[in-house]
Structure formats: structure tokens, C-alpha cells
């Protein structure tokens, strides 16, 4: 038994796709009317190719209610051309589908090119974790972890640190590595930090205040650094992340072994600590 025709509200993801592929323009050929005006007001109209109800234009009794509100059966028009297309003798199902296809293809290609040209590199950042950390412990003169359980806890801490770095843009991670390389170590018990003078970083990088501030703001948002002002000399402080000293010992490790700090921080090569 066929279902009773009723007008369903299109799903949000369908409406979103329609607007994304509309280019914010009426789909009617040659019309450049906006669907959303400069004030953000929705002025376009969501139109059915084959009507939602029997008294509408081009109603198809063989369709289901879901099919009538599907992406394939909907297009976006300005109010003028919504009225114009009510002439079913001129604007048949086939013609409206062609109008929809030609318009959306134009903007789908643009969307695809944008998507292909933009990559979130934080999603590609896959750190390599250490397994033993023997070299790291040896260089810093530490006793190795006692037993497998303690070793797993240390590796889990490194994984936690990597998780904090993962969402940070690569350029900001590079700046973080520079801060650690150029800064001075400060250890207070199990809490360690690296402190670098703002103007020293500007000079070392041969850049300007604005660029340094930009990267500091990014790292602040990820709770990796803070800024302290001591008698007018701004210091950038790389915060301690773990419950045991890491940044200072990491700096020592890289200096003694020749491993580049950027390899570990920017490329996620924590396995080099083995």
C-alpha cells in the first residue's frame, strides 16, 4: 500500500549541501540573485522539482515522501523564478533537472578545487612513540624505568605530550622548537620550563614583533606557553606539560646527540629518544 503524500522537512545535511553547491545564487540560468542577502537574511526559496503534494506542479505519485524531499528533487531559486517555473508545460521535470545539474556542477567544481587545495596538516601529523627511552635516560644520567609497568607509564606520558602537540599548526610547532632551542632552562623540583626573551626571539629569527606575537597567541590557545612581563622585558615561557622534567632534558638530549629538536617536536619523531 502506497503512503499518504505529506510534506516533509528536508534533512539539515541536504539543505546544507544545496546551499554549498548553489554558490549563493539562484539556479535559474542567467540569474545572479542572491539566496542570502548582504544582511544574512534568507531570501531564496527551496523548490521541489516534483511536487511534495498532489496539488503541486509535476507531482509524481510513484515517489515516496522521502524521495520528494531528497537532494535530487530540490533546488534553490529566487522567488521570481520559483513562480516562473510553475509553468509545467515549459518547465518539465527533465528541464528543471537539467537546470539544477548545470548550476550545481559549476559550483561543485569550485568547492572540489578548494577542498583539494586545502589540507589540515594537523590531521596528517602521526607521531612515532618511543618504546624504551634508553638513550634519553642515559644522556640525562637518569636510572631507567623500573619494570615494564613504569616504562609503560613513561611512554604514556610521551603519548599525552604528543596529543597536546597534534592540533597545533606545523608553523607554530616550529616556533615552539625555536623557543626551546633559544630559551633558558628553569627547573623547580618536578616542574620544568623554558624561558625566552621576546626581543631575543625577534632578533634570532630576524622577524618582527607582530609575527612573534602571532605564534605566541597560537601556542597560548593550546596552553603551551605563557607570557610574563618583568620590568618591561617580556618573557615567553614554555610551560611544563608532564609531571616530570621534559623540556630541559629534551634540550640536553638534542645537544648531546645531534638530534634536531624540530625532528622531535615538528615531525613527532619521539622514537629518536630510544
Please state the domain extents for the chain: 12-115, 122-273
> What topology is assigned to 122-273 in CATH?
Arc Repressor Mutant, subunit A (1.10.10)
Residue 15's pLDDT is: 87
DSSP 193-223: EEEEEHHHHHHHHT--HHHHHHHHHHHHHTT
- Residues 6 or more apart in contact with residue 160 via CB below 8 angstroms: 241, 242
Residue 96 CB neighbours (<10 A): 23
**67 contacts 51 by C-beta, under 8 angstroms:** no
d(CA 241, CA 219): 13
Pairwise CA distance, residues 269 & 247, whole Å: 15
DSSP code of residue 273: G
Q: In 58-152, which ranges are E strands?
A: 74-77
SS3 label, residue 80: helix
**Phi first, then psi: what are they for 217, rounded to 5°?**
-65, -40
**In the chain, which stretches have pLDDT less than 50?**
1
Residue 106 buriedness (CB in 10 A; 0-12 / 13-18 / 19+) = middle
Angle CA 12–16–22, to nearest 5? 145
**At a CB cut-off of 8 Å and minimum separation 6, what does 182 contact?**
196, 200, 201, 204
Quote the pLDDT of residue 120. Answer: 65
Q: Is the dihedral of CA 173, 177, 183, 186 positive or negative?
A: positive
pLDDT of residue 1: 47
Phi then psi dihedrals of residue 101, to 5 deg:
-65, -45
Amino acid at each position: 500500500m502506497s503512503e499518504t503524500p505529506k510534506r516533509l522537512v528536508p534533512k539539515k545535511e541536504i539543505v546544507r549541501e544545496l546551499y554549498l553547491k548553489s554558490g549563493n545564487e539562484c539556479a535559474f540560468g542567467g540569474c545572479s540573485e542572491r539566496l542570502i542577502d548582504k544582511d544574512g537574511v534568507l531570501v531564496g526559496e527551496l523548490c521541489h522539482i516534483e511536487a511534495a503534494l498532489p496539488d503541486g506542479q509535476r507531482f509524481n505519485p510513484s515517489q515516496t515522501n522521502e524521495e520528494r524531499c531528497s537532494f535530487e528533487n530540490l533546488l534553490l531559486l529566487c522567488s521570481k523564478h520559483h513562480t516562473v517555473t510553475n509553468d509545467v508545460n515549459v518547465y518539465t521535470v527533465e528541464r528543471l533537472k537539467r537546470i539544477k545539474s548545470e548550476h550545481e556542477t559549476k559550483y561543485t567544481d569550485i568547492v572540489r578545487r578548494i577542498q583539494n587545495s586545502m589540507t589540515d596538516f594537523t590531521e596528517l601529523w602521526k607521531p612515532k612513540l618511543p618504546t624504551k627511552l634508553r638513550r634519553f635516560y642515559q644522556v640525562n644520567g637518569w636510572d631507567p624505568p623500573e619494570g615494564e609497568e613504569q616504562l609503560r607509564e613513561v611512554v604514556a606520558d610521551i603519548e599525552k605530550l604528543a596529543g597536546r602537540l597534534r592540533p597545533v599548526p606545523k608553523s607554530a610547532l616550529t616556533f615552539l622548537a625555536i623557543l626551546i632551542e633559544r630559551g633558558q632552562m628553569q627547573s623547580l623540583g618536578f616542574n620544568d620550563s623554558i624561558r625566552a626573551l621576546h626581543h631575543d626571539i625577534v632578533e634570532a629569527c630576524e622577524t618582527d614583533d607582530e609575527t612573534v606575537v602571532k605564534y605566541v597567541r597560537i601556542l597560548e590557545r593550546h596552553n603551551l606557553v605563557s607570557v610574563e612581563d618583568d620590568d618591561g622585558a617580556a618573557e615567553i615561557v614554555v610551560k611544563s606539560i608532564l609531571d616530570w622534567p621534559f623540556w630541559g632534558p629534551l634540550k640536553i638530549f638534542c645537544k648531546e646527540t645531534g638530534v634536531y629538536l624540530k625532528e622531535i617536536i615538528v615531525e613527532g619523531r619521539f622514537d629518536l629518544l630510544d
